């Protein structure tokens, strides 16, 4: 069987009405980007999209788009001439892949109402033909193991039976832009990918403190950005903030048990200013209620007091094992657990406050003028993205 099309079903786009065209256009562009290098044709319609394979491997094409946000599922499709014999041969070919004893159902959609066979006629014809030619199968119209789908359209008959589930959600870019605080641990990459499922475009910020943090720790975060970019088809830009001067000043001037609170507050100030620079509408982090000292409700209140910017915490109430499972599914877990410390762990206080009061934190911070160091850190930001890295690699190979 040679499939010549891929059927693409939309996710939450189908819930849109007046502005659905905008979502479809965004999804079309994201699919085209994910399918760069394939010699295909893409037709995005009101309720689904079709990819004409032009000889490309259907599995490779489905692999390339299965993580594009906005796609609910895909199916390899055989387009047939409007012939009863062609439908029968294809139905039997599909059924021969089923296991003995399994059940099936013939499902028919007739977009071309002028076709001479009605829905029941096609179901009766194909169901009977399969039973005659493939032994040990049964028909079950309520709970079948397999469905053989037949779509009668004006330009031909489309048949398929395999359905591959995809990521769903909304196309990236339709939900605005946000800045992800990316530490390199398990939680923050998952938080970013969860927000991207709702159509939000992400840029990431990472704080490093050389020589206390190693170059390997920064490379680990870049690799996480690579994984996230390739998984979603988005070119995620990473902003790397030099944090050594600020962190050593906090270590010298702020009481040890309050230092983590101040560290997180200054990170949030920098994140807010960076988010404004990139026209971001929110900050995203991987905080989980009660997981560590800086993530108690009181700590979050003290840290959040430095900003009026929306802070999204998509993992707030999940169990840790749920987050780990999501990280494994997203392909970020193995990189996140590499043993390179980030700047939050190298200066970790022995006994951090779990209930820091805003007034006390502000009193200690008032003894130091952090503002010039914050501006210096913002001016020292280095940027990284997968595309830029690949372009540099391609250029260096020419030298």
Cβ–Cβ under 8 Å, residues 198 and 165: no
Cβ–Cβ under 8 Å, residues 91 and 130: yes
Give CA–CA dist 217/74, Å, rounded. 37
Reported as a single tens digit per residue, the pLDDT across 184-230 is: 899 999 999 999 999 999 999 999 999 988 999 999 999 999 999 88
DSSP state of 170: B
Find tokens 């339709």 and name the residue: 174
Whole-model pTM: value is 0.81
pLDDT above 60 (res 321): yes
The whole-number pLDDT of residue 395 equals 45
What's the angle, vertex CA 70, arms to CA 68 and CA 71, rounded to 5?
70
Query: Would you give the end-to-end CA distance of the chain in angstroms?
Result: 46
More confident residue, 342 or 9: 9
Give CA–CA dist 45/134, Å, rounded. 36
DSSP calls for 51-77: EE-TT--HHHHHHHHTTSTTEEEEEEE
Give CA–CA dist 104/358, Å, rounded. 64
What is the rounded average pLDDT of the residues 273-298? 91
Give CA–CA dist 293/288, Å, rounded. 11
pLDDT above 60 (res 399): no
What is the token pair recorded at 63?
């692999």
Cβ–Cβ under 8 Å, residues 344 and 268: no
What is the rounded average pLDDT of the residues 319-324? 95
Q: How many residues does this entry show for the chain?
A: 399
């Amino acid at each position: 069987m040679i499939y010549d099309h891929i059927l693409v079903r939309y996710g939450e786009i189908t819930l849109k009405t007046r502005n659905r065209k905008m979502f479809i256009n965004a999804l079309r562009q994201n699919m085209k980007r994910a399918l760069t290098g394939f010699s295909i044709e893409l037709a995005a319609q009101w309720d689904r999209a079709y990819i004409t394979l032009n000889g490309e491997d259907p599995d490779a094409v489905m692999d390339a788009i299965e993580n594009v946000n906005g796609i609910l599922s895909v199916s390899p499709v055989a387009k047939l001439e409007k012939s009863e014999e062609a439908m029968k041969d294809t139905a039997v070919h599909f059924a021969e892949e089923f296991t003995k004893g399994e059940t099936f159902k013939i499902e028919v959609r007739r977009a071309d109402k002028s076709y001479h066979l009605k829905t029941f006629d096609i179901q009766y014809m194909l169901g009977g033909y399969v039973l005659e030619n493939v032994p040990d199968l049964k028909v079950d119209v309520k709970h079948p193991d397999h469905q053989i789908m037949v779509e009668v359209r004006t330009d031909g008959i489309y048949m398929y039976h395999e359905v591959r589930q995809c990521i769903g959600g909304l196309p990236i870019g339709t939900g605005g832009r946000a800045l992800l605080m990316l530490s390199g641990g398990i939680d923050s990459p998952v938080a970013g990918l969860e927000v991207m499922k709702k159509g939000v475009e992400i840029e990431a910020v990472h704080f490093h403190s050389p020589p206390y943090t190693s170059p390997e720790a920064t490379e680990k975060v870049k690799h996480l950005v690579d994984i996230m970019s390739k998984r979603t088809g988005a070119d995620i830009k990473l902003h790397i903030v030099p944090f050594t001067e600020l962190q050593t000043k906090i270590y010298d001037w702020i009481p040890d048990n309050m230092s983590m609170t101040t560290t997180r507050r200054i990170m949030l100030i920098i994140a807010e200013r960076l988010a404004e620079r990139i026209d971001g509408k929110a900050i995203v982090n991987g905080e989980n209620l009660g997981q560590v000292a800086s993530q108690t409700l009181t700590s979050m209140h003290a840290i959040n007091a430095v900003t009026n910017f929306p802070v999204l915490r998509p993992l707030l109430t999940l169990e840790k094992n749920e987050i780990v499972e999501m990280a494994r599914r997203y392909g970020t877990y193995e990189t996140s657990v590499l043993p390179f410390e980030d700047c939050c762990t190298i200066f970790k206080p022995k006994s951090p406050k779990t209930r820091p009061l805003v007034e006390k934190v502000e009193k200690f911070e008032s003894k130091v003028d952090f503002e010039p160091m914050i501006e210096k850190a913002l001016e020292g930001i280095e940027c990284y993205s997968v595309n830029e890295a690949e372009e540099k690699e391609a250029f260096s190979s020419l030298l």
